[in-house]
Chains A and B, each alone.
Chain A
Amino acid sequence: MARAVTPQRKLVNTGVAWAVGLLIFFPILWTILTSFKTEAQAINDPPLFLFFDWTLENYTIVQERSNYMRFLWNSVIIAGGSTILGILIAVPAAWSMAFVPSRRTKDILLWMLSTKMLPAVGVLYPIYLLFIQLGLLDSRAGLVVVLMLINLPIIVWMLYTYFREIPGEILEAARMDGAELRQEILYILTPMAIPGIASTLLLNFILAWNEAFWTLNLTAVDAAPLTAFIASYSSPEGLFFAKLSAASTMAIAPILILGWFSQKQLVRGLTFGAVK
């Protein structure tokens, strides 16, 4: 949609859009900047923007004091594990729904979606109790399973919409060429769907990384991921702005970078294909 506009008009657009964009981004920018200040500079009046003594000491202190790496590792394991497990379970299911649709396929898809809408708090205690009984409380394995189940409907949906774009004739050709079902999925479908699988992986990794109900309620120390790590800064450490900022920056940086790569898929994944 290339619309011709006058350069003046374009200049105004650019100015307004950049101003609004920076305003929205400002809290993140401010956090990143503050993370490089000393505590004194962080609460300086008037606030310091760029002209302060840049320092990395907050990062080392945060790491030493709260063992950031352990929380990071927990986040990686929990978000990564739940996403990969979810994809392994969802690929065969999405294959079935995309290439062997039946009258019930639509109902199953919608039903899967409906499980996503079950309010977590409504089932908090049963899950809590089951976790205690099964010895899963504060374990990474338990959270991997729960987050996998939460995101499974989205994973199935996204893969389903991607698979539907692959012509069925190609899979039939593989069948005629002597490929068994396993080989058909492994050698033909998966390589062809790599872009779709990658974006599904990315988006669900982000969703799992940021999940902050189950990760807060089902962990204590051992399995706590970054969401809990940050929540522990609530008080009184929260008053140490520079350290809070360093911790926050470390918690969001990996995902901001991944997120920027997946913005296109975001729409598709979160609207279940209703908006493309």
Chain B
Amino acid sequence: MATQHSRSAARLMMAPAVVLLLGWMLVPLIMTLYFSFRNYFPLRPDRVPGWAGFDNYVRFFTSSAFWPSVQTTLVIVGGVLVITVVLGILLAMLLDQPMWGQGVVRILVIAPFFVMPTVSALVWKNMFMDPVNGLLAHLWRFFGAEPVSWLSEVPTASIVMIVSWQWLPFATLILLTAIQSLDSEQLEAAAMDGAPKLKQFWYIILPHLSRAITIVILIQTIFLLSIFAEIFVTTGGAFGTRTLTYLIFQRVLESQNVGLGSAGGVYAIILANIVAIFLMRIVGKNLDA
């Protein structure tokens, strides 16, 4: 449904958004690529800028901080994904049950998603995980246990738990939406066929949720790969909590080794794109329907 007239109008009206996003994508990307091949220390006048070839890529890759940071990234992303998806499914099924005050419970469960990352990190760090006055320390003492110094003794696990708290609402909400779209007659038919609850879950509910689970995993992965504030506020990258994102941040802004940081940035972009391709496929398929 269109005329030449409206098609050219459409192109014109799409132009600002397309041009802006194209600029937003290309300009920094090209600059990052450029810097990644340079020796560049903006705060070190004694070091002359020059071409570095693939040195930055090699050095970033072979530096002693690289593999631990990849490992930390994977542990955090993987840990949060497992926790949020498993608990998200359980919580979604719970919230789907008939009960009183469903709307209020929903609101309670969703609330953490709206808390800004710096706030949740700080509140957890000080008011819950502080080894002296934190609530968890009180709880430990109440049971006669020695309080744990969470962020220095089990820092990665602590961060996983903070981030999981933030993202559990997202997973729950999407999985709940998906569960509610399940035709209850399917379950009734399965019950009529004599399928026990566990089998109903395994053969009907879980396959029905598979698409939503995939989407939760992909979208969260993209966001989790770049979590920043939670680490910035809690450990500042110390105690082995330095993720790839945080490592690059330190190289670029703290030690001002722009070339090395940019090479790391290119690695991060490649990593994110691998995940993005899978997500785009799913979204794109949905667009046709």
Interface residues of A (CB under 8 A from B): 1-3, 5, 9-10, 13-14, 16-18, 20-22, 24-25, 27-28, 30-31, 34, 43, 45-47, 89-90, 92-93, 95-97, 99-100, 102, 106, 108-110, 112-115, 117-130, 149, 152-153, 156, 168, 172, 181, 206, 209-210, 212-213, 216-217, 226-228, 230-231, 233-234, 238-239, 241, 244-245, 248, 251-252, 255-256, 258-260, 263, 266-267, 270-276
Instruction: List residues 9-40 of chain B with CB under 8 A from any CB of chain A.
Output: 9-11, 13-14, 16-18, 20-21, 24-25, 27-29, 31-32, 35
Contact of B98 among A5, A149, A251 (CB under 8 A): A5
A to B CB contacts below 8 Å, 17 in the list? A5-B97, A18-B105, A20-B94, A24-B112, A30-B127, A102-B10, A106-B284, A119-B271, A119-B272, A124-B249, A130-B28, A152-B21, A212-B229, A234-B233, A271-B174, A273-B283, A273-B287
- Chain B residue nearest to A108 (CB atoms) is B18
Report whether B24 and A248 are in contact in the complex, using a CB–CB cutoff of 8 Å.
Answer: no
> Does B276 contact A124, Cβ atoms closer than 8 Å?
no
For the complex, is B58 an interface residue (Cβ under 8 Å from A)?
Answer: no
Q: Say whether B109 faces chain A, with CB atoms less than 8 Å apart.
A: yes
Establish whether residues B268 and A122, one from each chain, have CB atoms under 8 Å apart when the complex forms: yes
The answer to whether B117 and A210 touch across the interface, beta carbons within 8 angstroms, is: yes
A259–B110 CB distance below 8 A = yes
Residue from B124, B252, B279 within 8 A of A27 (CB atoms): B124
Bound: A238/B134 CA distance, A: 12
User: How many whole Å from B242's CB to the nearest CB in chain A?
Assistant: 12
**Contact (A259, B265) CB under 8 Å given A10-B99, A27-B123:** no
Q: Which 4 A-B pairs have the closest CB atoms?
A: A92-B13, A123-B28, A259-B114, A126-B31
Closest Cβ neighbor of B104 among chain A residues: A21
Complex Cα gap A134–B212 (Å): 43
CA of A231 to CA of B21, assembled, Å:
30
Q: A3 contacts which chain B residues (CB < 8 A)?
A: 98, 184
Distance A109 CA – B31 CA, assembled complex (angstroms):
25
Query: Given contacts A1-B184, A241-B127, A260-B110, are A100 and B100 in contact (CB under 8 A)?
Result: no
Could you tell me the distance between the alpha carbons of A255 and B119 in the complex, rounded to whole angstroms? 12
Q: Is the CB of A270 within 8 A of B219?
A: yes
Residue in A13, A22, A108, A260 whose CB lies within 8 Å of B97: A13
Interface size of B in residues (CB-CB distance below 8 Å):
108
When chains A and B are docked, how far (Å) is the Cα of A112 from the Cα of B225? 19
Contact of B101 among A14, A24, A92 (CB under 8 A): A14
Judge whether A117 and B273 touch: CB under 8 Å: yes
CA distance A3 to B126 in the complex (A): 44
B258 is an interface residue with CB less than 8 A from chain A: yes
B7 interface residue (CB < 8 Å to A): yes
Asked if A213 and B20 sit within 8 Å, CB to CB, the answer is no
- Smallest beta-carbon distance B147→chain A, Å: 11
Asked if residues B215 and A275 are in contact (CB atoms below 8 Å), the reply is yes
Residues in chain A near residue B59, CB distance under 8 A: none
Contact check: which of A46, A97, A118 meets B142 at CB < 8 Å? A46
Pairwise interchain contact A93-B118, C-beta atoms closer than 8 A: no
Q: A21-B105, A115-B24, A124-B248 are in contact. Are A100 and B2 (CB under 8 A)?
A: yes
- Contact with A230, one of B118, B184, B253 (Cβ below 8 angstroms): B118
Contacts of B262 in A (CB 8 A): 125
Q: Does B86 contact A (CB under 8 A)?
A: no
Residues of A with C-beta under 8 A to B17: 89-90, 92-93, 112, 152, 156
**Which residue on A lies nearest to B181, using beta carbons?**
A276
The answer to whether A234 and B248 touch across the interface, beta carbons within 8 angstroms, is no
How far does the Cβ of B131 sit from chain A's closest Cβ, in whole Å?
Answer: 12
**Extra contacts besides A124-B252, A212-B117 (6): CB < 8 Å:** A24-B111, A121-B265, A125-B253, A256-B111, A259-B111, A259-B113
A267 to B184, Cβ gap below 8 A?
no
Contact of A126 among B35, B113, B141 (CB under 8 A): B35
A25 lies within 8 A of B111 (CB): yes
Across-interface contacts of A272 in B (CB, < 8 A): 283
Q: Verify B114–A206 contact, CB threshold 8 A.
A: yes
Asked if B91 is at the interface (CB within 8 A of a chain A CB), the reply is: yes
